Amino acid sequence: MARHLFLTERRVIPVGRHKIKLLILRPLERHPEPVPGVLWVHGGGYQSGSAKDIFATRALSLVVKFGAVLVAPNYRLSKKHPYPAALHDCYAALLYLKEHAEELGVRPDQIMVGGESAGGGMAAALCMLAHDRGEVNIAYQMPLYPMLDDRDTPSNRDNHAPNWNTRRNQKAWKRYLREAYGTDIVSCYAAPARREDYRGLPPCYTFVGDIEPFYSETVDYVRHLQEAGVEAAVDVYPDWFHAYDLFFPAKKVVREAIARFEEHFQYAAEHYFAPQE
């Protein structure tokens, strides 16, 4: 598989009265044919992190190994801007990717979304919002160990695993949802596990560890997609805590998981298309 050198570019786009920065990665040598365009959302519990985190995540290989174009939004964080600020920012970035597809060398029928943790939760939320608004069609989603459910689940209610646990998870949701936390008024665009109708959402691949808080909601998300007739798959890794792959990228089992992720992306690039209206 050829390895691609890439260009890094930063752009600023308006979101209402605000502006956000986009980090764009694309191959140094433009492919003669348009390539998949991926909106990748960074993690951090909606309260921390930045677009540059993508250099240490699964996203980078999509550019380096597959020649995809990557757009990462520096969305507003919940410390100062609770829901729906981050959603508005990421959706604006998604529309920007669609509207500038030709300029960026992106196939308009292969706009994809992905992210880790809260970024994975945002990727799922964007799929739902895009489906419901009908302004942009997403071909594929890659929400890795996503943060999907603000409510108690079997794996997040009493979790003391390393890196992310019940206490940190509840604190992050409270900060993101503010007065809506713990109520029944939370939208599926804030917590995608609240969704009831999964029909028409994009095909999906994800992986998750079985000792982390997001294990139950990740497996449930894939099951709901499958029951709605959507192609979806999840790989579950024993004894992995949250973001295990980012802590131990050199381990054999992690390298195998990365290879599985890349195989699914390559399959998606060859088989999944969503023409724009």
Pull the structure tokens for residue 220.
Answer: 């449930």
In terms of C-beta density within 10 A (0-12 exposed, 13-18 middle, 19 or more buried), how is residue 163 classed? middle
Domain ranges of the chain: 6-271
CA end-to-end span of the chain: 33
- Give the pLDDT band of residue 2 (cuts 50, 70, 90): low
- Residue by residue, DSSP assigns 192-231 as GGG-S--TTPPPEEEEEETTSTTHHHHHHHHHHHHHTT--
Summarize pLDDT for 83-110 with one digit per residue, the tens: 999 999 999 999 999 999 999 999 999 9
List 143's β-bridge partners, or say none. 115
**What distance lies between CA 221 and its chain's CA centroid?**
13
In sequence order, the 6+-apart residues with CB closer than 8 A to the CB of 179 are none
Peptide bond preceding 249 in cis form (omega within 30 of 0): no
CATH T-level assignment (fold) for domain 6-271: Rossmann fold (3.40.50)
Summarize pLDDT for 201-247 with one digit per residue, the tens: 999 999 999 999 999 999 999 999 999 999 999 999 999 999 999 99
Pull the structure tokens for residue 202.
Answer: 């994009």
- Give the pLDDT band of residue 168 (cuts 50, 70, 90): very high
Of 115, 114, 108, the residue nearest 136 (C-alpha): 108
Look up tokens 């109520």; give the residue.
183
